[in-house]
């Protein structure tokens, strides 16, 4: 009896893996279209050790500031709309 139950479970797992999960991996990405890319370098401001650094860049007339510290997994972002010089 145990062999039949194990065989049935194994067969069900194989069927699910072959149909449901495998088909999902081959679907094309449904991402939104992308517009222009701003690949120009950002201006960076580096501070002494112990303080966060800043990168800034203009994007569509807005000034974008990104505050980061080395390779840390945290940071913050701020956008100044309609900034002068952008």
74-to-35, 57, 69, 85 alpha-carbon distances in Å: 27, 19, 8, 28
Confidence (pTM): 0.54
Instruction: Give the per-residue pLDDT at 57.
Output: 93
57-75, pLDDT tens digit by residue? 998 889 999 998 878 888 8
Instruction: Give the per-residue pLDDT at 63.
Output: 93
pLDDT at 23 over 70: no
pLDDT at 7 over 90: no
Distance CA 38, CA 68 (A): 20
Domain map (residue ranges) of the chain: 2-80
């Amino acid at each position: 009896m145990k062999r039949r139950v194990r065989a049935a479970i194994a067969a069900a797992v194989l069927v699910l893996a072959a149909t449901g999960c495998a088909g999902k991996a081959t679907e094309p990405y449904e991402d939104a279209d992308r517009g222009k890319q701003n690949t120009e370098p950002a201006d960076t401001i580096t501070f002494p050790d112990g303080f966060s650094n800043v990168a800034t860049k203009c994007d569509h007339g807005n000034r974008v500031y990104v505050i980061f510290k080395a390779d840390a997994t945290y940071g913050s972002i701020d956008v100044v709309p309609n900034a002068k010089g952008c």
